Structure 1
Amino acid sequence: MIRKAALHLLLIFVIGFSANAQQFPYFTHYTFNKFVNNPAAAGIDGYTTVNLIAREQWVGIGGTPKTHALVFDSRILGDSYILQKLPIRKNEKPRTRSGNTAWGGYIINDANGPISKTYLNGTYAYHLDLGERQVSFGLSMLLFQNRLDGDQLITHDGSSVEDDLIPNGKESFWIMDANFGVYLAARDYYAGYSTVQLFNSKVKFGVNEKGVYELKRQHNLIGGYRFFLTNRIDLEPSTLIKIQETARAQIDLTAKFIIDKRYWGGLNLRSGTALAIFGGLNYDKYYFGYAFEYDFNTFAKQTFATHEITVIARFGDAARRYKWLNSY
């Protein structure tokens, strides 16, 4: 009986942590992945961008959180990189570069012990040119799969316990949701607001009605300002605030230095619970970034910290309409 109660507490903690405290994937390189948190940022700079991300928390301990993502977004310009490559467009007359619409999507796999999720996202964004500024609106449809491996929930002596809250073997199901965002960008600043998981979808494991959990809506605020310190060095402080309903807000404070528009490095502080140092470089159309994150909690001291790698490819010529929006 005690063993079953302990297992109940473990399951509630694991599911509760996944559904509330960190229900949407987090990345230290959020300034490079604004589109993940805000659909209005899709195609914001006029380029076609492909981003690969790998993040592993608390390296050295089995079953700790691991996140892998493939992110894509593109501005639909009259002569965009993608449209130029389509055979059907070869014989058409040249068209204007102006374009107000953008699209994008991502595939994210987020695993945390016995619980894992796969996110599939499709996004449409509309951009309004206001001269020196740009206002954008975006809407995403989100389809994600929740999976729970009940066989991984075992007691200290290696035995399992039958319970209505705990599925036998593996259980999975799909949920549909939506995200909405608005974004303002200028040459030296940007700001945005978004809401993810608009529908407050419900998650249910096992056959017991007590095993139903609601995915709470999350509100994101992002903002940054670029200071052009010298001809070679820029400084970009930024913040990302995530506010979940019925949960404490998470605040990221970041300071990023950009050197010769080719190298970058900086620090990220998250709600006083973790500190990350990150850096990277640009070669031609490719960008390579790495982040080392150290958590302040006692548990993290027994691990080899958290590591995150991002690789970005940007396609399109240098004469894009919104060239001044280049934030790398």
Structure 2
Amino acid sequence: MKIKYILALAGFCFIQLKVNAQQTTNYSQYGSVVTPINTAGSFLTKEAQINVIGRYQWVDLEGAPTAYRLAASMPLGKSDMRIGLNVKHENVGVEKLGEALAFVGKEVRLADKDYLALSVGAGVSYYNGNFSQLSSTDPMFNNDLRETEGMLSASLMYYRPDKFYAGISLPRLTFSKIGIGSTSLNYDVSTLYHFTAGAIFPLGADFDLKPATLISYAKNVDLQGDLSALIYLKKAFGLGANVRTEGEMAALASLFIKNLNIGLGYQFATSNSALSRTFNNNTYEFSLTYRFGKGFGGLL
């Protein structure tokens, strides 16, 4: 029991460092699942679509971080507008945090094959810290936290269907940041900014190259950059890799089966840090995308 308490205390200290850094978890399959990061990316398909992503870190440790995302969108009739939902939930030890946001978007044709999409949304973020579960005697863990905060989002995407896309997004702007919400929050999630881009390059009759990048910024947090690339065979099966500026890499796989796209990721740290020597810091990730109607006509 004493060892478990020490591990919990160490995990608690590490968790607090991550929370204070105000940077939530990004996922390595952003090149295949765009909407959770940029809701205007939902216009990359004309059909209704559902995305599910799960991440599991430190799988051998009790209370290890887990994260889940759900994104869904659909067109409004035959108009050039879409509506959708973005939901995120993370568990880190005794802490739970997440967001739920509804959005609406509109696309504008700029040229014969080029489009611009704009999306705006509103929702709520929440944070629960059940610190009293760690110890009933240590005063450090006496106070639990329960906090919610309203939030807004905005996203912009320039794209050519089945060719390329580039977009910027502000996925989280809390009410307190614009002066209409509570300013006494102990858990103050900073405003995030994302830039993401991707493209498809044919490599002969049977192969395609799909590179993508994601750059994330939040106040008082180091700029985080990701670069990934997958090579697809007959637009059905892809293998690739992801590299992150924080010293992490990931192996990626993608499989298309009619209306379903299955994605897998295995992320690992390349640096020999004290944390990676103590715990298994590898992360397992899966994604499922179901596209209604005619299904996947391309790789975007």
TM-score normalised by L of structure 1:
0.78
Deviation at 1:13, TM superposition (A): 5.2
CA shift at 1:149, angstroms?
A: 0.7
Question: Structure 2 stretches of 5 or more lacking a match?
Answer: 1-7, 178-183
2:87 — aligned with what? 107
Question: Are 1:60 and 1:303, in contact at CA under 8 Å, matched by a contact in 2?
Answer: yes
Compute the displacement of 1:179 (Å). 1.1
Partner of 1:218: 192
Aligned residues: 282
Larger radius of gyration: 1
**What corresponds to 1:197 in structure 2?**
172
- Structure 1 residues 236 and 105 mapped into 2: Cα distance closer, same or farther (>3 Å)? same
d(CA) in 1 for partners of 2:239, 2:265: 9
Paired residue for 1:309, among 261, 286, 298? Answer: 286
1:312 maps to amino acid: T
Distance 2:20 2:170 in 1: 16
Unpaired runs of 5+ residues, structure 1, are: 1-6, 79-98, 203-208
1:300 aligns with 2:276: yes
How does 1:238-277 map onto structure 2 within 5 Å?
A: 238-277=212-251
> Displacement of 1:29 after TM fit?
0.9
* Whole-angstrom distance in 2 between the partners of 1:306 and 1:16: 19
Is 2:93 the counterpart of 1:121?
Answer: no
The TM-score normalised by the length of structure 2 is: 0.85
Query: Hey, what's the Cα distance between the residues in 2 that align with 1:197 and 1:69?
Result: 15
Amino acid at match of 1:234: D
Q: Once the two structures are superposed, what CA deviation does each residue of 1:104-142 show, in whole Å capped at 9, x if it has no partner? A: 112221111121113211011111123211100011213
Q: 1:10 to 1:236 in 2, by over 3 A?
A: closer
SS in 2 for 1:151: helix
> CA–CA distance in 1 between the matches of 2:169 and 2:98?
21
Residues 220-240 of structure 1, C-alpha deviation per residue, up to 9 Å, x if partnerless? 011122211111111121110
Aligned equivalents of 1:241, 1:200: Cα separation in 2:
24
Q: Describe the SS at the equivalent of 1:42.
A: helix
- 1:269 is displaced (CA, Å) by 0.5
Distance in 1 (CA, whole Å) between partners of 2:11 and 2:260 is 43
Match of 1:50 in 2: 50
Name the CA shift for 1:8/1:66 in 2 (closer, same or farther; >3 Å). closer
Instruction: Percent identity, please.
Output: 19
